[in-house]
A and B are shown apart, each in its own frame.
Chain A
Amino acid sequence: MTEIFDLITVGLFASAIRMATPIAFAALGGIFSERAGIINIGLEGMMLTCAFGAVAATHFLGNPWLGVLAALIIGALLGLLHGLITIKFVGNQIVSGTGINILALGLTAYMSQIIWGSRGASDAVQGIDPISIPILKDIPIIGEIIGVHSPLVYILILAVAISYIILFKTPFGLRIRAVGEHPAAADTAGVDVFKIKYYCLIISGMLAGFGGAFLSLGHLNLFAWGMTGGRGFIALAAMIFGGWMPLGAFGASLLFGFSDALQMRLQTLGILPSQIILTIPYILTIIVLAGVIGRVNPPSDYKPYKRE
């Protein structure tokens, strides 16, 4: 037992935050999309493509922040693609998302082979260095956990706050929620339903872009095949677990990030099989969806909107 307690260190919490960051970005992306009434299971692929784009842009342009910019642009374009298929061409949301996921896997491996001659991993590029927050970093324990991180971690915290404000304190957010909950009523009230949906998908893709950029430039400083490893799907779980609320999804991401970090450390000890711990986020989500811990209601019925 003492061995398990030895694992609970400040380092564990700091690494939990790092693990949670890409999940939380994508979960925020999921919230924007679903609040506007569109399921986005393509988050996984969007994140993967953006992780690749971030490294490729850094490789060619030499500046990791330009890599982040590239990730945001790619994310926006993929969000737009999902929008075109599901809104303009009234395609099925699940099918479109699955297509984007498969496209991402193929395209990134293909381009990785073209650029670096290896479909497994890219060359290392310049990453984004962690920054330390003055004053905060000097507080004992807390400073060690949250004081020194990649700037993208702090951008995430801002993004959580801004997402909450946009969704719940601005007219734009009210429109988004109206479009998701009752598109016909929103339309009658003069809201441009389709435009709002497009905006939300673009935001969704850009948030996935931040997540992808963090994965490749904030962690390993390279792109590896399939490096998202299902985090986009965990993000959907975090979104549901957090009740489609930014702060809730952030909390759920931290929980899942923590179980991921713990799992990696337990692996070295070999007490509890890592695979069992890895199932926790998924099982928790199923339990939440089944309404065992109070009912959660999706913010929309996700039906494509057609003007009567």
Chain B
Amino acid sequence: MQKVFETMKVELKKITPQLIAIFIALLVGSIVLLATGFSPVEAYGALVIGAFGDIYGVGQTLTQATPIIFTALAFLFAFKAGLFNIGAEGQFLVGALAGAIVGISFSGLPTIIHIPLALLAGAFFGGLYAFIPAILKTKFGAHEVITTMMLTYVAIYLTGYMVTDIFKAPGWVSQTPLISPTAELPRILPPTQLSASLLIGIFLVFLTYYTLQKTVLGYEIRAIGFNSLAAENGGINVKKGLILSLVISGALAGIGGAGEILGVHRRFIDGFSPGYGWDGLAVALIGGLNPFGSFLAAILIGVLRSGGMTMNRVTGVPIDIVTILQALVILFVAAPVFIKHLIRRGKKYD
């Protein structure tokens, strides 16, 4: 028992900066609320009740968290190799479209084949889309921050074009037809939209942890991220490692996109992602760049989003306070020295 508490203490210490960042963000958020004539107690209260109060709230919270789990894993996987994949949004969209196309193209396939096929298509095309910046980085030295960002916009417009033209369903909305029922991921908490995509996400959290910590590939990727020169000298093929980590990163985002289509929307609608890829970056950072931490951080964002809707309905606080809170957490997490500064100050007063 003693041992369990000790490990818990160690683990908690690791995420202390994140917890402090969340706390300060909520504090600054209260100031914003007070300054604009709202009661923070009422607002946050409504938010918590909205997120956990009933089955709809819980379902909505987890539904909102699901796609971000994938994009957070995507960001962190590349980050372990020292790469900044800020283009998870693009890979997510490409994977989503691939999943949708497989979903609508076959009918009569057994579900047990159709769903994995659509998810694999998402992973494959998401990975392929990340292969472009990987090659540009390793062969031409183009910085992945800019290339992945530019490719995200290319993906937004190209997927938009595909669903307003080639794969468009009849009608005036830019969307594909509905996928075949055989490709639908089951909803696991009816009547909410929560789908089995969440379970795939949880599985991938463990798989990502295992791959990074317990396999040779994971070791090599972390070695490259830690010091690529030393890794090279140690006989690790750095280029291969960089390419693989970025492709796997893209594949993770791609599965997330496909899962979102198969489970929630059941068709690709132009502009369906409110920026899950960008959220992934934020969530991975809030989660301390750890798969389990990212999972918890994704849930936190889910709570804010789903509770935010209730808060908006009940108290009239604009829903955008949630975005503000999210940004504040990122900014405080971005400045680790600031948090350390605070911790040191706090210790002085102990």
B157 contacts which of A89, A105, A275 (Cβ < 8 Å)? Answer: A275
* Pairwise interchain contact A110-B335, C-beta atoms closer than 8 A: no
Q: Check B258 for interface membership: any CB of A closer than 8 A.
A: no
> Are the C-beta atoms of A279 and B157 separated by less than 8 Å?
yes
Q: Which residues of B contact A286 (CB under 8 A)?
A: 136, 142, 146-147, 150-151
**Contacting pair A282 B151 (CB below 8 A):** yes
A135-163 contacts to B (CB < 8 Å): none
- Chain B residue with Cβ nearest A277: B157
Cβ-neighbour of B323 out of A95, A106, A240 (below 8 A) = A106
A55 within 8 A of B: no
B-binding segment of A64-72, A125-133, A191-199, A229-237: A229-237
- The interface residues of chain A lying within 8 Å CB-to-CB of B136 are 286, 289-290
Q: Would B160 and A85 count as touching, CB distance under 8 A?
A: no
A100 and B84 form a contact (CB under 8 A): no
Max count, chain A CB within 10 A of own CB: residue among B140, B334, B341: B334
Residue of B nearest to A234 (CB): B153
Do the beta carbons of A99 and B150 come within 8 Å of each other?
Answer: no
CA distance A168 to B165 in the complex (A): 49
Q: Which label, helix, strand, loop or mixed, suits the secondary structure of the B interface?
A: helix
A: number of interface residues (CB 8 Å): 47
Distance to closest chain B CB from A202 (angstroms): 18
Given that A110-B321, A240-B146, A285-B146 are known contacts, is A85 also in contact with B157, CB under 8 Å in the complex? Answer: no
A56 to chain B, nearest CB (A): 13
Known: A85-B335, A92-B334, A230-B153. A291 touches B142 (CB 8 A): yes
Q: Mark A275-305, 1 if CB is under 8 A from B, else 0.
A: 1101100110110011100000010000000
Most B Cβ at <10 Å: residue of A89, A99, A103, A233: A99
Main secondary structure of the interface of A (DSSP, over half): helix
The answer to whether B338 touches A98, judged by C-beta atoms less than 8 angstroms apart, is: no
Contact partners of A81 in chain B: CB under 8 A: 331
Number of contacting residues on B, CB 8 A? Answer: 47
Which partner residue on chain B sits nearest A105 by CB separation? B323
CB of B312, distance to nearest CB on chain A (Å): 10
CB nearest to A233 among chain B residues = B149
Distance of A41 from chain B, by nearest CB (Å): 7
Q: A99-B327, A110-B318, A275-B161 are in contact. Are A91 and B278 (CB under 8 A)?
A: no
- CA of A291 to CA of B143, assembled, Å: 11
Q: Is B211 an interface residue (CB 8 A)?
A: no
Q: A91-B334, A96-B331, A240-B146 are in contact. Are A119 and B153 (CB under 8 A)?
A: no
**Are B147 and A289 interface neighbours, CB within 8 A?**
yes
**In the complex, are the beta carbons of A273 and B161 less than 8 A apart?**
yes
Task: Fill in one digit per residue for A81-105: 1 if any B CB lies within 8 Å of its CB, else 0.
Answer: 1001100111110111011111111
B322 within 8 A of A: yes
Q: How far is the CA of A208 from the CA of B70 in the complex (A)?
A: 33
Q: Give chain A interface residues in 237-260, CB to chain B under 8 Å.
A: 237, 240
Q: List 7 A-B contacts (CB under 8 A).
A: A99-B282, A101-B278, A103-B327, A106-B321, A230-B153, A236-B149, A240-B146
A residues with a Cβ closer than 8 A to B are: 39, 41, 81, 84-85, 88-92, 94-96, 98-107, 109-111, 113-114, 119, 230, 233, 236-237, 240, 273, 275-276, 278-279, 282-283, 285-286, 289-291, 298
